[in-house]
Amino acid sequence: MGLFEGKKGLILGIANPFSIAWAITQKLHEQGAEMAFNHLPDRDKPKNEKKLRKLVEPLGAELIVPCDVCDDSQIETLIDRTAEKFGKIDFLLHSIAFAHPDDLTGPTYACSRRGFLQAMEISAYSLLAVAGAAKKKDLLADECSILTLSYFGGEEVIPGYNLMGICKAALECSVRYLAAELGPDGTRVNAISAGPLKTVSAQGVGEFQLMLDLYEGVSPMRKNISMDEVGNTGMFMLSGLSTGISAEVVHLDKGFSKMGAPPHDFINKLRSEG
Ligand SMILES: NC(=O)c1ccc[n+]([C@@H]2O[C@H](COP(=O)([O-])OP(=O)(O)OC[C@H]3O[C@@H](n4cnc5c(N)ncnc54)[C@H](O)[C@@H]3O)[C@@H](O)[C@H]2O)c1
């Protein structure tokens, strides 16, 4: 019997087959989970909806709802429809972030007020908004697990990550406050701080290939993480195997974030390459 047999959940943030949320969804499905999904609302043609349906319908998706997290009424509709379908949910995945390239690629002191607010709203506030709407609707089952995706640039300075680093710091702090507030109801809230993975959003972050090279050279394992690994860790964090973990930021980065200085072989390689 799968770990998620009889378990129901809501997945936010599958845009395409490269999305982290898709990697986690596939692992949840293998373990028997039933799921509802959101996509960004379409303007003219149903492009986002079609892309999502192509992926999740073969898995027997229970519900597909458009939801822009900047719109409270769309969040409410998503939560209402999920409640109608499932009654309660055992897990909620939030795998959403956005910053306009004009605000993301420059130094943080040059980002616009509007761009800062938009990035914060989508990348950090949305976790509070969705969790709040779910709590208000009494959607969260006992021992519900909420999981979001973060990055090390929210803890320390990673050149190029810039504005998104500030958003991730707010997101990780939101995880801790939410965990403290929802814990008495039996709900856990955590984040995975994932190393770089080639997704559409990641390409918007400055010098992405350089980041992959850096992790490969510096991490204790001398490797980058894989989609399979983020899928497995996401599934674990949403499952009943991780009931002792809450208010935590789990580093899934082959140990990169624990290195205080680059290893000698990496420095020697840089020297030999001149
Ligand atoms: N790829 C990486 O290297 C990496 C590393 C660590 C953390 N993350 C985080 O993982 C999460 C998922 O990103 P990804 O890399 O899978 O990229 P992705 O582009 O596949 O996913 C981002 C998702 O955010 C959604 N989104 C953006 N604005 C939205 C809005 N207003 N309303 C609703 N949805 C909206 C997009 O539709 C998309 O599904 C993000 O929080 C990202 O910061 C990514």
Distances (CA, A) of 122 to 58, 99, 224, 225: 29, 8, 27, 25
Residue 206 pLDDT = 66
Hey, where are the domains in the chain? 8-272
Question: 3.40.50.720, 3.30.70.600, 3.90.79.10, 3.40.50.300: which CATH number matches 8-272?
Answer: 3.40.50.720
Query: What spacing in Å lies between the alpha carbon of 230 and ligand 1's midpoint?
Result: 14
pLDDT tens string 64-94: 999 999 999 999 999 999 999 999 999 999 9
Joined together, the tokens standing for residue 255 give 């140990």
Centre of ligand 1 from the C-alpha of residue 95, in Å: 5
| Protein residue closest via CA to atom 12 of ligand 1 | 95
Residue nearest to atom 10 of ligand 1 (CA): 149
Residues 64/68/71/75 CA torsion (nearest 10 deg): 30
Mutate to test the pocket of ligand 1, among 24, 64, 96 (most ligand atoms within 8 A of CB): 96
CA dist., res. 158 & res. 132, Å (int): 31
pTM: 0.98
Enzyme catalytic residues: 151, 161
Length of the chain: 274
Per-residue CA distances from 196 to 47, 227, 236 (Å): 27, 10, 20
Measured CA to CA, the distance from residue 127 to residue 189 in angstroms comes to 10
Nearest CA owner, ligand 1 atom 33: 68
| Beta-strand pair 89-94/140-150 | parallel
pLDDT tens per residue, the chain (274 residues)? 899 999 999 999 999 999 999 999 999 999 999 999 999 999 989 999 999 999 999 999 989 999 999 999 999 999 999 999 999 999 999 999 999 999 998 999 999 999 999 999 999 999 999 999 999 999 999 999 999 999 999 999 999 999 999 999 999 999 999 999 999 999 999 999 999 999 988 877 768 899 999 999 999 999 999 999 999 999 999 999 999 999 999 999 999 999 999 999 999 999 998 7
pLDDT digits (tens, 9 = 90+) for 12-54: 999 999 999 999 999 999 999 999 999 999 998 999 999 999 9
Percent of the chain's residues with pLDDT above 70: 100
Residue to mutate (ligand 1; options 20, 167, 205, 237; most atoms within 8 A of CB): 20
Which residues are 259's β-sheet partners?
A: none
What is the bridge-based pairing of β-strands 8-12 and 34-39? parallel
Whether ligand 1 lies within 6 angstroms of the CB of 249 is answered as: no
